[in-house]
Structure 1
Amino acid sequence: MNWLLVIAGAMAGAPLRYLTDRAVQLKHDTVFPWGTLVVNIAGCFVLGLVTGAASAGHASPHLQLLLGTGLCGALSTYSTFSYETLRLTETGAGFYAAANVVASVTAGLGAAFAGVLVARAL
């Protein structure tokens, strides 16, 4: 049963990631990977929200599997973040590479903490 929840969440998260990434990136004429940054921050926020709700006793382990592991696991992507940062470095866009690392880590952690705080407030 648990693996079906993870699969169901991932079935929603993967296309959501792809479509969001493409939509965001099309709006920016730059080499900076805005699409990946947006989906990773969104995934961090949702995971913080689900984790905060679960720790407060307002979300079941099944919801954690569906949304936390499945949806957020497929929505956010550390491997793409790493690859895009490496490509920025290799193409001489070191400033963008460094900005991507700082923005991703800072905003991702901030979004996760914000998600936990919102869940506890509700």
Structure 2
Amino acid sequence: MMWLIGIGGALGAGSRYMAGSIISKRIKSSFPLATLLINIAGSLFLGMLTSLHLNHQLMDWIWYLTGIGFCGAFTTFSTFGYEVIQLLNAKKLKDAVIYILGSLFICTFSSYIGILLFN
């Protein structure tokens, strides 16, 4: 089980890095849009996987690999926290508040949509 989580985590971390690089190159912004978009996508995917797992339509080993491992590493709270601190240090209070509230509500809603899609 730990190996599956580790493999999924490695794939999620690599995917997150690549997605973040691509988004940041295409969209130049001082707002941390790349992390927000990655966390929204990851929340949606985790919601879908959660629904399948809770309805016994997803084998445990796939849940460990994708839900716990991949999504756990693909979405990132630590980067979110770091970027909030960067915004606050740059005295961009409005952007920090938008980022915090937007992340909280949009990612939670994305998870809920993912659950509904496969329920």
Under TM normalisation by the shorter chain, which class is it?
over 0.9
Unaligned 5+ segments in structure 2 are: none
SS in 1 for 2:118: helix
Q: Does 1:46 find its partner at 2:29?
A: no
Write the deviation string for residues 10-44 of structure 1: whole angstroms up to 9, x where unpaired.
12101110111111122222210011001111111
CA distance in 1, matches of 2:24, 2:93: 19
Greater displacement, 72-81 / 17-26 = 17-26
CA distance in 2, matches of 1:62, 1:111: 24
CA distance in 2, matches of 1:116, 1:108: 12
**AA at the equivalent of 1:10:** G
Q: Which residue does 1:5 correspond to in 2?
A: 4
CA distance in 2, matches of 1:42, 1:97: 20
Q: Which residue does 1:107 correspond to in 2?
A: 106
| Structure 1 consecutive aligned stretches of length 4 or more whose deviation exceeds 6 Å | none
Write the deviation string for residues 58-93 of structure 1: whole angstroms up to 9, x where unpaired.
112211111111000110100100110111011011
Shift of 1:53: 0.4
Q: Which residue does 2:66 correspond to in 1?
A: 67
CA distance in 1, matches of 2:26, 2:81: 22
Shift of 1:112: 0.4
Q: Which residue does 1:23 correspond to in 2?
A: 22
Q: Which residue does 1:85 correspond to in 2?
A: 84
Unaligned 5+ segments in structure 1 are: none
* Cα RMSD for the two superposed structures: 0.9
- After TM superposition, the score normalised by the length of structure 1 is 0.93
CA distance in 2, matches of 1:29, 1:67: 30
Q: Which residue does 2:95 correspond to in 1?
A: 96
